[in-house]
Amino acid sequence: MAFIDLIKQLAEDSSPLVQRAGELRVALAADPNNAESFDELISIIRLLGQQTPTADPLTADDTYSSKPPLNLVLLALSEDLASDLRAWYPLIQLAKITIDDDPAAAVHQIEVAAGREETGQALASGIKLLCEAGQPDTAMQVGLGRWLPDEHCIDVGLELIRAAMASDKIADAQSFLDVLQKRFPSDHDVLDIVEELTHKQ
């Protein structure tokens, strides 16, 4: 079912939240990677999902049960936006939803997102997501195959270092750090992670 139809099942069409959700969906059609609009829309979906319909002794149970599962709405939104070839942020959000039930699909979504985004922001987000899901080895594999140290943002290297530390691969972490120190010698985040790595050794 389409995202907009699922939204309408969560609340009355006249709800200001539903109207705002429609406005945000239009904004995301113009820029599917607008994180602020995406996150606000997610917040609205969660809020609508928490609302309980007005009790009616004859129809309350049926009305309540007709609400779609919250994750189904979030999944529909992410899939809808991810179909845009410019979209990478929705793919990362889609990976967050699927990573527990289908880790392979989540990795694929992260890889596609990284391929669509040139600065490395998507790749860094994907590496971090995999680490938070307890898959630091996979995070390293995904990151190493795509990291362009001379082009990507600093966050990719930082997340790779954290993934290596989480995997107890200290030598790898140090090699990633060496690369970052050459390009960002005075960066505060690099200096901070030097301290983290020192404590790990």
Q: Where are the domains of the chain?
A: 1-87, 102-201
High-pLDDT (> 90) share of the chain, %: 64
Structural tokens at position 41: 């829309």
Residue 58 has a pLDDT of 46
Residue 55 has pLDDT above 70, yes or no: no
Least confident of 41-45, 63-67, 101-105: 63-67
The confidence band for 74, taking pLDDT boundaries of 50, 70 and 90, is confident
The answer regarding whether domain 102-201 maps to CATH 1.10.1740 reads no
95 burial level (CB within 10 Å; 0-12, 13-18, 19+)? buried
Q: How many CB atoms lie within 10 A of CB 106?
A: 25
* Angle, vertex CA 61, rays to CA 58 and CA 67, nearest 5: 130
Residue 73 has a pLDDT of 81
Least confident of 14-23, 122-131, 170-179: 14-23
Residue that the structure tokens 């005075």 belong to? 186
Residue 98 has pLDDT above 70, yes or no: yes
Q: Which residues contact 125 (CB under 8 A, 6 or more apart)?
A: 92, 113
The CA-to-CA distance between both ends of the chain, in Å, stands at 51
Structural tokens at position 185: 């010698």
Residue 69 has pLDDT above 90, yes or no: no
Residue 124 has pLDDT above 70, yes or no: yes
40 burial level (CB within 10 Å; 0-12, 13-18, 19+)? middle
Give residue 51's Cα distance to chain centre.
25
Residue 34 has a pLDDT of 96
Structural tokens at position 3: 């995202």
Residue 57 has a pLDDT of 44
For residue 185, what are the CA distances in angstroms to 154, 155, 163?
Answer: 11, 14, 21
The average pLDDT across 42-61 equals: 64
DSSP secondary structure letter of residue 67: S
Residue 185 has pLDDT above 80, yes or no: yes
CA distance 180 to 195: 14
The confidence band for 131, taking pLDDT boundaries of 50, 70 and 90, is very high
Residue 62 has a pLDDT of 46
On average, the pLDDT of the chain sits at 87
pLDDT tens for residues 5-50? 777 776 655 578 888 888 999 999 999 999 999 999 999 888 887 7
Q: What are phi and psi of 22, to 5 degrees?
A: -65, -40
φ/ψ bin of 101: left (φ > 0), alpha (ψ from -120 to 50), beta (otherwise): alpha
